[in-house]
Amino acid sequence: MNEMRRYSPVSFEKQPVQTELRGLWRVALKYPQEGEGPHLIDLSHKPKWDVQSSALDTIQPFGVEIPKSPGRCKLMHGRMVCRMNATQARIIITGQEKNEQPNTSEFTDITEGHLLLALTGPNLFSITEKLTSLDLQNPEKPTPYLFQGPFAHVPCQVVVVKNKTDNCLLLLSCSRGYARDMVDAVFAAGKEADLRPAGEAAFIL
């Protein structure tokens, strides 16, 4: 009998030196010569949910209240809830806890349809400004904040989790079909900053 397996759409040139089987996913924990950063981390295995309802304010996904205004995000107990517009929100499970699958029609599991990358390390915005015109350092947008717009010409959702010059963290999500070109574009832009692939162990919220 064949074994069932889920594959991330993201692959790096280097092979991981430490992996872990989590559910049906093979998760890379560590890559060789990761260095001090900045790092690009594949988190596509993290559960992601799309929530759509005309009464979003009455829903509390995984016990977390959905923020009232679009762009605002809440990070609680390893769950990131981002308001996208009047009727739509996005949930990213950033922690390791197992979560019950919501059983109502408002929730759609998009884990396998979307990739999730984390960009972390110092001076990240010198890399991102080559890839997008989005003003990710806008001081009027309190972190964590969700930007929806083109990143490397691809419609993306970008969550700015930390935006300090010496400590930045971005979560980048888009359709899984863009994975190879997105990774190529990010590494090309990050070449002079010595951007390297890193495993999940380097992802610290």
Partner 1 sequence: MSLTITCPICGKRSGYEFRYGGEDKGPRPDEDELTPEKWFDYTHLNTCIAGMQKEWWCHRDGCGTWFKIYRDTRTIGEVPLPVEDKIKDA
What are the Cα distances from residue 83, in Å, to 58, 111, 112, 148? 13, 18, 21, 11
Question: Which structure tokens are listed for 60?
Answer: 């509390």
Q: Which is nearer to partner 1, 49 or 147 (CB)?
A: 147
Is residue 85 involved in binding partner 1 (CB under 8 A)?
yes
Pick one of 51, 73, 84, 110: the residue that binds partner 1 (CB under 8 A).
Answer: 84
Is residue 101 involved in binding partner 1 (CB under 8 A)?
no
In angstroms, what is the minimal distance from the CB of 147 to partner 1? Answer: 8
Among candidates 91, 86, 171, 96, which has minimal Cα distance to 128? 171
Residues in binding contact with partner 1, number by CB under 8 A? 10
In angstroms, what is the minimal distance from the CB of 178 to partner 1? Answer: 13
What is the distance between the alpha carbons of residues 164 and 109, in angstroms, rounded to a whole number?
32
In angstroms, what is the minimal distance from the CB of 102 to partner 1? Answer: 23
What are the Cα distances from residue 109, in Å, to 50, 90, 157? 6, 10, 16
Residues 10-69 interacting with partner 1 (rule: CB under 8 A) = none
Is residue 108 involved in binding partner 1 (CB under 8 A)?
no
For tokens 């692959």, the residue is 11
> What is the contact surface with partner 1 in residues (CB under 8 A)?
70-71, 84-85, 133, 147-150, 155
